[in-house]
Structures are given as structure tokens and as C-alpha cells.
Amino acid sequence: MSLLKSNTFISAADVTDINALADKALQYKANPLLDKALGEGKRIGCLFLNPSMRTRLSTQIAAQNLGMEAIIFNVGSEGWQLEFEEEAIMSGKTVEHVKDAAPIFGKYFDILAIRTFPSLVNKEDDYSELYIKQFIKYSGLPVVSLESATLHPLQSLTDVITIKETFKEPRKPKVVLSWAPHVKPLPQCVANSFAQWMNAWGEVDFVVTHPEDYELDKKFTGNAPIIYDQDEALKDADYVYVKNWSTYNDYGKIYSNEPEWMLTAEKLKLTNNAKVMHCLPVRRNVELSDEILDSENSIVTQEAGNRVWAAQAVLSELLKG
């Protein structure tokens, strides 16, 4: 049975069984070349409208492990500026419509993977996932999100894998998503996605903590308790997932730097010696202190390493599908 509902992977909702997909990723971690001929003769196009390190490299390695060729195109910095609005009069900065570009990718590739960040200006376009949906509509290819306007599913699958492989007690771990300070407004994608996957996975006690006014869209946080007192939320946590995000309601803002929200060793004493996670890149001593990042509690490197296995599990499902 396929572990994906269709030939797109842009959300937890596209997965039939999160546990089974995470197990598959861990199988690849134990034996990276298990399916080394699966993608023979196939090509994945990885389109980056925005910068990346981990996503780009891990997806390339995952494709290579499956015998596929990966072609990277930094559309954002090297390509023609794309137009996404239907019936646009293209007399401004945009040079090529996605309606014309995407079918060409359909001729070149077998799978299309796309990174396209939100504008943080037009909430309606961002939250309708206009850009990635236009690629799905016009390419006719299986599409994998490398982080879209509202979600980062390969990161979240990685986070599930990392919790699964590090938690061995016969109970559910307490997992806290904790807002962190930052110097500029960041998308809500990672936080939305982490919440969506934790809720859909259902194998953790999940709590969200952030300053008032930083509420995420309820469709992602669901019934998770939202606690404005960070110290209270951290009590007995087994995992603290640290991430900044800008405001959702008054869209795309940061009101103040809130340095007191940075996770420190002192705050970690409130937890059950929690493991600390972050998707990276991280601004040291703004989002997370040196003392945490350089301590044994930090599993951020293990987490980033697992990006390969998450990507490999998803690509293998698309190749089989």
C-alpha cells in the first residue's frame, strides 16, 4: 500500500500512515542503498525560489541514493521572474508565467520539488498556497514541497523521525513548540507544519507556547494547549522545539524582540532534561543560547542529518506510485 494518498507531498494530509513513513525513513538510515535502482533513468527537478542549505543537499543525496539524477535550479536568483496570478497583465517585473514554465518542467523531469516561501504580505495568496498549487496544476508531475508558503513537510517528517528514534520510554513524550525571538519577521511554515504533523501523528503530548498575539492558524494547532507562560509550558517537557514565527492574525509582523523568550540552560531545568530541536539555520544567542546549542541536550545536528532519510522515504513512495 502506498504511504502517500496521491502524487503530491505538500502536507501531513498527503500521508496515509505517518508512523509507517517514518519507519521507512529509518530503514533507509540503516541501509541507504536499499533501493538504489528504484530511480534509475529518472530525474528530479529541484526548483529553489528561495535560499536553502539542508533541504537542497539532503534532497540531492536522497535522490542519488535511489539512483535518480537531481537537477537543481535556483529559480529565485538565476531564473526568469515568474508570474503566478491567473489572467495577469504582465507589464511589470514578471517575465514568464508559471502556466508556460511548469509544463516545460513536465517535459524535463519525472518529479518536481519546489521551495517557495510566503510573501508575508498577501495572507490570502500565501494561505491558499497559490504558488505551489500552480506548479501542481500546470506541470502534470508529482510534486514535493521543499517548503511552501505555509508548511515544511519534509522538515516535519524529519522531526517525527528524530523524536521516534530518540524516545524509548513506554509512554508518550511531552513535546513543546516554543516561540523564540528573532531580528526579522519569519514565515509561520515550520511552526505550522510541526504542529500539523505532531497532531496528525498523535504519538506525543503536544503543547504550544508563545507570547500573546503570535497565535498560529487553528487549522494547524488544532486542540493543542496554547500556553502564554513559557515556564509553565516547559515543565516536564521531553522535547522543546524552538522556532521563531511572525504574527498570523496581524499578518507577517514582529512586535518586539522579546529576548526573555530565548531558551537558556536555566529554563531547561524546568524540563525533563529535554532534548532541544530546531530546524536550522539558527541565530545563536538570539533564538537559542550557545550554552544550549553546544550542550548534550541539543539534537539539532542529528535532526538535520535525518533530512536525507525523510526525503528518501518520500521520493521512493513517489517513484513506486
Q: Is 189 annotated as a binding residue?
A: no
C-alpha to C-alpha distance for 108 and 180, rounded to whole angstroms: 41
Site string for ligand CP, 37-56 (x = CB under 6 A): ---------------xxxx-
- State which residue, 24 or 152, has the beta carbon closest to ligand CP: 152
Would you count residue 275 as binding ligand CP (CB under 6 A)?
no
**If binding means CB under 6 A, how many residues of this protein chain bind ligand CP?**
9
152 is in an annotated binding site: yes
Tell me which residue has its CB nearest to ligand CP. Answer: 55
Cis peptide before 281 (omega within 30 of 0): yes
If the CB atoms of residues 267 and 306 are measured against ligand CP, the closer one turns out to be 306
Interacting span for ligand CP (CB under 6 A) from 68-76, 208-216, 223-231, 277-285: 277-285
**Least distance from ligand CP to the Cβ atom of residue 155, Å:** 5
Establish whether 280 is an annotated binding residue: yes
Nearer to ligand CP, 119 or 272 (CB): 119
182 forms part of the interface with ligand CP (CB under 6 A):
no
Q: How far is the CB of 280 from ligand CP (least distance, A)?
A: 5
Please report how close the Cβ of residue 98 comes to ligand CP at its closest, in angstroms.
22
Q: Which is nearer to ligand CP, 233 or 282 (CB)?
A: 282
| Whole-number Å distance between alpha carbons of 73 and 76 | 9
> Could you say whether residue 280 binds ligand CP (CB under 6 A)?
yes
245 closest CA partner among 179, 148, 198:
179
- Name the residue among 46, 37, 199, 20 with its Cα closest to residue 115: 46
Closest CA to 253 of 280, 208, 215, 209: 215
Nearer to ligand CP, 28 or 194 (CB): 194
Q: Of residues 134, 155, 162, 312, which one binds ligand CP by CB under 6 A? A: 155
Residues 6 or more apart whose CB falls under 8 angstroms from that of 124 comprise none
Return the ∠ at Cα 164 (arms to 317 and 289), rounded to 5°.
115
CB of 156 to ligand CP, least distance (A): 10
Q: Which of 132, 99, 126 is nearest to 14 (CA)?
A: 132
Only one residue has cell 516536564, namely 236
Beta strand 239-243 with 275-277: parallel, antiparallel or unpaired?
Answer: parallel
CB of 191 closer than 8 Å to CB of 243: yes
Encoded one letter per residue, x for contact with ligand CP by CB under 6 A and - for no contact, window 101-140 reads ----------------------------------------
56 appears as a binding residue in the annotation: no
Amino acid at 287: E
In the complex with ligand CP, which residue's Cβ is closer, 111 or 277? Answer: 277
284 labeled part of a ligand binding site = no
Order of strands across the sheet that contains 174-179? 226-227, 205-209, 174-179, 239-243, 275-277
Any idea what the Cα angle at residue 241 is, between residues 238 and 243, rounded to 5°?
Answer: 160
Annotated binding-site positions for N(2)-succinyl-L-ornithine? 147, 182, 243, 283
Residues at the site binding ligand CP, with contacts judged by CB under 6 A = 52-55, 147, 155, 279-281
